[in-house]
A and B are shown apart, each in its own frame.
Chain A
């Protein structure tokens, strides 16, 4: 060789290029699919580039990727019951408000008192139906109560307790008034006197429970 140095320079550059330049992506070459089209020479066409990427390679666990139709059915039943709970809850607010309005003139008028008690009974029946729908909705394992739903459940404890106390106290108050009909300036005494306060707390907590699910505070 006339110029040995040039040869070694060329060899060094060539070897460096082959080492540092990745001419092809390092991922394995795609395997041709059985149904892939063939070229005119009869050789199989290489599968599209996307086939190198598979969800199986991402490392998800079987519990993440496995379809669960039973859970889907459970979720559907749960949603259906809670939707019915929502509708019944809104409808129950109507007789509840009517009962409160009818409480205005019950002390000296037995007809008003009876009407107030009747509408109150309807309220109680609808309330129990609403509560039943929520309590029997399927529970999903691993789910946690949070956000507005948790507050809604806390308020349910308050208005649920008042919904039990108010009719009982109301019945006691009604009996006293019925037995003392015509007695001027008769005042309800004892625990029955708490009927109004219990009803007021029921109304407030029930209204708040509805509001937290509707309004984004």
Chain B
């Protein structure tokens, strides 16, 4: 009877320790796909970058995330258009777009809301309550997807135009991030 009690106590301790650790610790971004969308009456443009890098720290208060990506790595399929994008977004002067996000506890898979701060084109913008979807896979990786509702006015960007018609203000950015914990 004593041995059964001991085994139960040890097992319970193991289970408790596993759930308490959860997602706590440092995470590294291992795969990413960032896509911005530009809308014009005659064109719909999408440009994608897979060159983002990031780190995240998870603790009892939540997740603190930092992701950065060089502006020049976004490719729309038209080199001339991408160079013009670099010019209007001041991409040579401010070569990086940086995203900081705060994901409040409890950390768990499913739909979550996070506050996002974006540093782009020499300006900062804050987006509160951005909805993301988090999926946890058996191999321990974390997959996060969502859309940041960015606009060109947020970053004081002069809207490019075609035939005197400017692009629309909204430039939503789709994010697709895969995170893993580095081996200790």
Question: With an 8 A cutoff between CB atoms, is B70 at the interface?
Answer: yes
Q: From B91-99, B123-131, B142-150, give the one contacting chain A.
A: B91-99
Task: Let me know if B138 is at the binding interface, CB within 8 A.
Answer: no
Residue A7 at the chain B interface, CB threshold 8 Å: no
Interface residues of B, dominant DSSP? mixed
Does B152 have its Cβ within 8 Å of any Cβ on chain A? no
A60 adjacent to B68 (CB under 8 Å): yes
Q: Mark B52-66, 1 if CB is under 8 A from A, else 0.
A: 011111110100111
For A5, list chain B residues within 8 Å (CB): 2
Contact B13 A25 (CB under 8 A): no
B79-A216 in contact (CB<8A):
no
A58-B163 CB under 8 A given contacts A26-B25, A27-B26, A147-B78? no
B163 neighbours in A (Cβ, 8 Å)? 214
- Tell me if B10 counts as interface (CB < 8 A to partner A): yes
Which of B6, B20, B65, B87 contacts A9, CB < 8 Å? B6
Q: Which residues of B contact A20 (CB under 8 A)?
A: 17, 21
**In the bound complex, CA of A66 to CA of B91 (Å):** 11
Shortest CB-to-CB span from A150 to chain B, Å, is 8
How would you classify the secondary structure of chain A's contact residues: helix, strand, loop or mixed? helix
Would B26 and A67 count as touching, CB distance under 8 A? no
A21-B17, A50-B100 known; A78 and B87 CB under 8 Å? yes
Which bucket holds chain B's interface residue count? Answer: 35 or more
Interface flags for A1-31 (1: CB within 8 Å of B; 0: not) read 0000100010011001100111011110000
Number of residues on chain A facing chain B (CB within 8 A): 47
Beta-carbon contact of B66 and A22 below 8 Å:
no
Contacts of A78 in B (CB 8 A): 83, 87
CB distance from A19 to the nearest CB of B (A): 9
B interface residues with partner A (beta carbon < 8 Å): 2, 6, 9-10, 13-14, 17, 20-21, 24-26, 42-44, 53-59, 61, 64-66, 68, 70, 76-84, 86-88, 90-96, 98, 100, 162-163, 184
Given contacts A65-B70, A143-B82, 19 further A-B contacts (CB under 8 A): A9-B9, A12-B10, A20-B17, A22-B24, A25-B58, A50-B66, A52-B64, A53-B56, A53-B66, A57-B55, A58-B54, A60-B70, A69-B93, A71-B92, A72-B91, A75-B91, A140-B83, A143-B79, A149-B78
Chain A residues engaging chain B, CB cutoff 8 angstroms: 5, 9, 12-13, 16-17, 20-22, 24-27, 49-50, 52-55, 57-60, 64-69, 71-72, 75-76, 78-79, 82, 140, 143-149, 214-216
